[in-house]
Amino acid sequence: MVRKPALIERITSDRPPEPIARIRFTSALRSEGMAARLGVALGIAFTVAFATGLFSHFLQHPPSWLDWPSRPTWLYRVTQGVHVIGGIAAIPLLLAKLWTVYPKLWQWPPLRSAAHAAERGLVLLLVAGAMFQLVTGLLNIAYTYPWSFFFPVAHYWTAFIVYGALVVHVTNEWAKVRRSLPEPLEGGRRGFLLTVGAASGLAVLLTAGETVTPLRRLALLAPRAPGVGPQGLPVNRTAQAAGVVAPGPDYRLEIGALSLSYEDLRRLPQHTVELPIACVEGWSASARWTGVRLGDLARSAGASPDAVLRVESLEPHGGYRTSELRPPHWTDPLTLLALRLDGQTLHIDHGYPVRLIAPNRPGAQQTKWIHRIVIT
Amino acid sequence: MRIAGYALGGGLILLGLAGLALNAGQADPLSWALWFGGGVVAHDFVLVPVTLALGVPLRRVPRPYRVGLVVAAMITLVSLPVVLGFGRRADNPSQLPLDYGRNLAAVLLGVAVAAVAADAWTRLRRRRHGRAAPPSS
């Protein structure tokens, strides 16, 4: 393949000398077929991210008319893992795609008509939005927040902008994609696509182990290591961060009209379940929990089968101080008020004296340091 | 069909903008706009020009090394937040628990070794097939 000697090449002679038009991009790797292939991959990645993101949002803010099921136990673990690891995989794809179409940024004239201006404006929304989602997402999973918006709100609403701009973009480019996809890529271009795929795949391999157990030893660059933390389990919010101190012997758990001491709870029938903590940041880790079945306790406290339970933490404030359990979750026999983790008394950072553990539920809703359960 | 695409896309965009506006207290429009615009500006006017400029002297480098450099650069970029480690908290050692600088160095070393091996392999194959090595790139 013959390459032009310089990247920014000679002045185009057949056009009036507009300064920007002089830039010529000479890499033969750029082509419509390349843009189409990367575009299809990104379209799939963003569709999956949008769907799993909406799912996560609705689990955390369920509308009153929709109860989500407690099974399969691993559902949220998988969807959120796909959301986060898929987002990481999309970063090399996005960079490669934007590099492929970069010359279009400098097209001359910049705006040919009102329709062209609208099209370019929407592409700008798409590029800025895609960049925003991937950059803020990547920083958020690394617990780094160099902004003053609330990440979940900004990431959620921006997703609609990005996906809307993507739908418009796909509508505009669909004919080109259909035309160029059947054409095979030539050697150098195929190599470039494989390189981008390798970077994306390697990024996945080096992070997915924070939620995909068989890959845990490869998770060299993941923000979490599933076995690292008090009692071998990671923690998102420590007791210190939450402002919680271990309660003394006067601790009581109130549920409905019942009031139980820690010893009372220990004397009730104990059950052991294996359930994961699956966090919105994409990591997850399974553990063996032992405690009292919430369903049994709630029924003996007088909860009707369609009751909604509100679990309240000793945490003095914060958005995750309480969580709500609808019937599918509190009646599930796997749902426990856990007192022990892998056979040991719960560490304070895991919610001593009592925490909630339920299947198919975001980690932020597995409320720790429980002192009251309100039945409504 | 096109009209349906534009209507759906336009509707989603308006929904997103409305959501941000209605939640302005939490979405902090100024900070949001800074990050929304800042990312694309940093990419289009810093990251890509720097990449293009770095690409010029690399044109003569054999392909396995160029592939290795692209992969290494992308992995470095993706791992920057954990390597910089601004999200570490003294009370929570399970958050960013690894030595990411060392791990990144190990990964980059692995990529370098793979590039050297791939280069050696192509040279060996060329020699075995009795062909003169074509000019790189």
Cβ-defined contact of A198 to B71 (cutoff 8 Å): yes
Q: Is B98 an interface residue toward A (CB < 8 Å)?
A: yes
A343 neighbors A83 (Cβ within 8 angstroms): no
Residue of B nearest to A136 (CA): B35
Residue B75 forms part of a structural domain: yes
ipTM reported for the complex, 2 dp: 0.93
CB atoms within 10 A of CB B58: 12
Residue B79 within a domain: yes
What's the Cα-to-Cα distance from A376 to each of A6, A66, A303, A305, B129, rounded to whole Å? 72, 17, 8, 11, 80
Counted domains in chain B: 2
Which token pair is A330?
């509190």
Same domain for B31 and B79, yes or no, is no
Mean pLDDT of B114-124: 96
State yes or no: cis peptide before A109, omega within 30 of 0: yes
Report if residue B21 sits inside a domain.
Answer: yes
Q: Residue A175 pLDDT more than 70?
A: yes
Residue A360 falls in which region: left (phi positive, over 0), alpha (psi -120 to 50) or beta: left
Is there a single domain that holds both residue B97 and residue B73? yes
Considering only CA atoms, which of A287, A300, A286 is closest in space to residue A253?
A: A300
Tens-place pLDDT, residues A266-304 = 999 999 999 999 999 999 999 999 999 999 999 999 999
In chain A, which residues have their Cβ closer than 8 Å to the Cβ of B136? Answer: none
> Do B94 and A228 lie within an 8 Å CB cutoff?
yes
pLDDT tens-digit series, residues A52-95:
999 999 999 989 888 899 999 999 999 999 999 999 999 999 99
Q: Do B8 and A7 touch (CB under 8 A)?
A: no
Output the CA–CA distances (angstroms, integers) from residue A13 to A6, A102, A112, B107, B121, in the order listed.
17, 22, 21, 47, 44
Residue B121 lies in a domain: yes
Question: CB-based contacts of A356: which residues, under 8 Å, 6+ apart?
Answer: A294, A311, A323, A325, A335, A336, A337, A338, A365, A366, A367, A368, A370
Task: Report yes or no: B3 at the A interface, CB cutoff 8 Å.
Answer: no
Domain hosting residue B24, numbered range: 1-42
In angstroms, the separation between the Cα of residue B37 and the nearest Cα of chain A is 6
- Within a domain: residue B51? no
Average pLDDT, chain A: 93
- Could you give the 3-state DSSP secondary structure of residue B5? helix
Where is pLDDT greater, at A61 or B79? B79
| Interface A:B, Cβ pairs < 8 A | 217
Radius of gyration of chain B (CA): 23
Residue B50 inside a domain? The answer is: no
- Whether B15 maps to a domain, the answer reads yes
Q: If you measure CA to CA, which chain A residue comes closest to B28?
A: A149
* Residue A191 binned pLDDT confidence (cut-offs 50, 70, 90): very high
Q: Check residue A319 and give its pLDDT.
A: 83
In a domain, B47, yes or no: no
Residues B35 and B78 in one domain: no
- Residue B27 touches partner A, C-beta closer than 8 Å: yes
Same domain? B65 vs B91: yes
Distances in Å between the Cα of A120 and the Cα atoms of A127, A168, A256 are: 10, 11, 59
Put simply, the answer to whether A199 touches B71 (Cβ < 8 Å) is yes
B contacts of A196 (beta carbons < 8 Å): 70
Strand order in the sheet with A322-325: A258-261, A252-255, A370-375, A309-313, A322-325
Whole-number pLDDT of residue A172: 97
Contacts of B63 in chain A (CB under 8 A): 191
B10 & B71 share domain: no
Distance CA A345, CA A357 (A): 15
Tell me which residue of B88, B38, B28, B81 sits closest to A150, measured CA to CA. Answer: B28
Residues B68 and B104 occupy one common structural domain: yes
- Same domain as B113, residue B71: yes
Which residues on chain B are in Cβ contact (under 8 Å) with A241? 89, 91-92
Place of tokens 């040279």: B123
pLDDT bracket for residue B135 (50, 70, 90): low
Q: Tell me the average pLDDT across B38-43.
A: 97
Domains and CATH numbers, chain A: 20-218 (no CATH), 233-375 (3.90.420.10)
- The C-alpha of B57 sits at a distance from chain A's nearest C-alpha, in angstroms, of 10
Exposed / middle / buried, residue A209 (Cβ in 10 Å: 0-12, 13-18, 19+): buried
Best B34, B35, B136 member to test A by mutation, with max A CBs in 10 Å, is B35
Domain shared by B93 and B37, yes or no: no
Q: Tell whether A304 lies on the interface with B, counting CB pairs under 8 A.
A: no
